[in-house]
Amino acid sequence: MIRKLKEHSRLDHDDLAEIRHLNPVVRELQNGADIIRQGDRPHVSVMVVEGMAARYHILPSGRRQYLSFHLAGDMPDSQCLFVDQMDHAVCVLGKTTIALVAHKDLIAAFVRRPNFAFAIWRETLIDAAIFREAITNNSGRSAVARMAHLFCELFYRARASGLTRDYSCQIPISLVQLGEALGLSIATINRALADIRDHDLADLKNGVLTINDWSRLSKRGEFTPQYLHLRRPPF
Amino acid sequence: MIRKLKEHSRLDHDDLAEIRHLNPVVRELQNGADIIRQGDRPHVSVMVVEGMAARYHILPSGRRQYLSFHLAGDMPDSQCLFVDQMDHAVCVLGKTTIALVAHKDLIAAFVRRPNFAFAIWRETLIDAAIFREAITNNSGRSAVARMAHLFCELFYRARASGLTRDYSCQIPISLVQLGEALGLSIATINRALADIRDHDLADLKNGVLTINDWSRLSKRGEFTPQYLHLRRPPF
DNA sequence: CGGAATGTTGATATGCCTCAACTAAAGTGG
DNA sequence: CCACTTTAGTTGAGGCATATCAACATTCCG
């Protein structure tokens, strides 16, 4: 968490002490398990320790819309710290370990160390920037461009967090989930992935995302990483 | 601003005093004028006093993607309080009056009154919820449903802020802008609006949105207002 | 009064969806 | 260990919603 916050914020010694003083409960969850459901009134906050998590909406029709994906170090429910009721759900992808901290402990820490609060606040604002980018991605781009953009974002964030090895990282997302994230049918998803694979841009197989040509892939997806607001970009 | 914050947060006497102590600069802008551009490094924060504002992305191709709309009382750039550089732009719709407050004054107030900070933070989280809803809206719904949903959201928020008269409110958005918000061509927008009009659900004409049948309109757009997190829903 | 911006409508093209069949891989029980 | 089921991925054919292009009507505004 500290590493993650330092990616975008400056924290002094007392801030770090305050953070180390929080005492989280750690839990391991199986692939697909929900951390929080739509409508819940959570009193704890979640951090991903290992694995991935994702936010999603459930529509009246039962359709699922994935909203964002979260890597180790992310707080996938930071968005509900100051909001009574969940307007979306959060689940894990693959076997995932999470840490839980009570809201009241966090808020007490915020009051003592405003700088810590501002760092988490900034984190929630970057999440919002990612949402905005998703609006643009899913509204105006072709299937292939959408997928390329998502791959770029995931790989870029993974790399910034030191979760990549060479040009690969663990992204245990199925094609169905990819479709539910990008607002495309599974048939289209498959063909778009085949296209990206055939052009030697990238590949997603058995939960591993591999980038073959970053430059062409990011061009294909119109990916410009400013919106991630990282202090030290990995590229 | 106080009225607006009270829609979702509780503030005590000292918080209110702190807010009244801020001294904003007021400016009036003409239709379409930019408040902030993508790439700017703002050191002031903006509030809409009268009229409307909108966030948008500019893509390399020149295409514009509107991300959200903001009514009187909203802070359309709350999202960049703790972020160095704007990843999106903000413009006004129609003739609009805004108030500017320096970031450093706001942050000083946050440190003195954490509760005020939490209220603004909550405001930014509700903005994020609106972004999430836009992802879902633009990804999975038909043209008519998207438009119905947007009309519902705008009217609902306007009503919560006391900006409606009977079943009408001022929404000075052109069809082109509607298309750039919903990710649809202008031809489709026009036909979708005609459909909504012909079914007597709502109408948007000369910058005035009129709701004719709230129940059927909200059904058509799958509109469920929980994500707006209002303490006292207007319906 | 003229020009620009905005809104309207029709014809055609196309990207994506739906449906359906099939293959491959992963988990399950005998 | 193998048959059996389930889940994930692949591919083709046809239809439909929306894009694109084009012409025209209307309103706004100097």
The answer for residues whose C-beta is within 8 angstroms of residue B227's C-beta and 6 or more apart is A87, A88, B129, B130, B132, B133
Q: Which of A82, A127, A222 sits opposite B118 (nearest CB)?
A: A82
Å from A59 (CA) to C28 (C1')? 33
CA-CA distance, B158 to B53, in Å (whole number)? 13
What is the pLDDT, as a whole number, of residue B189?
97
- Nearest residue of A to residue B67, measured between CA atoms: A132
- pLDDT band at residue A23 under the 50/70/90 scheme: confident
Q: Which residue is nearest to nucleotide D21 (CA to C1')?
A: B187
Nearest to A79 among B55, B125, B133 (CB): B125
Residue B1 has pLDDT above 90, yes or no: no
CA of A52 to C1' of C14 (A): 37
Q: Using one digit for the tens of pLDDT, what is the confidence trace for A194-203?
A: 999 999 999 9
pLDDT tens digit string along A54-87?
Answer: 999 999 988 999 999 999 999 998 888 898 899 9
- Pick A212 or B79 by higher pLDDT: A212
**Closest nucleotide to A188's CA, by C1' atom?**
C16
> Is A206 within 7 A of strand C by CB distance?
yes
Contact: A60, B117; criterion CB under 8 Å: no
Within chain A, what is the greatest distance between any pair of CA atoms?
54
The total of other beta-carbon atoms located within 10 Å of residue A26's CB is 11
Nucleotides of D under 7 A from a protein CB: 8-13, 17-22, 27-29
Give me the DSSP letters along B116-168: HHHHHHHHHHHHHHHHHHHHHHHHHS-HHHHHHHHHHHHHHHHHHTT-EETTE
* Residues B147, B201 contacting (CB under 8 angstroms): no
**B94: exposed, middle or buried (C-beta count within 10 Å: 0-12, 13-18, 19+)?**
middle
- pLDDT tens per residue, range B134-189: 999 999 999 999 999 999 999 999 999 999 999 999 999 999 999 999 999 999 99
In Å, what is the separation between the CA of B80 and the C1' of C5? 33
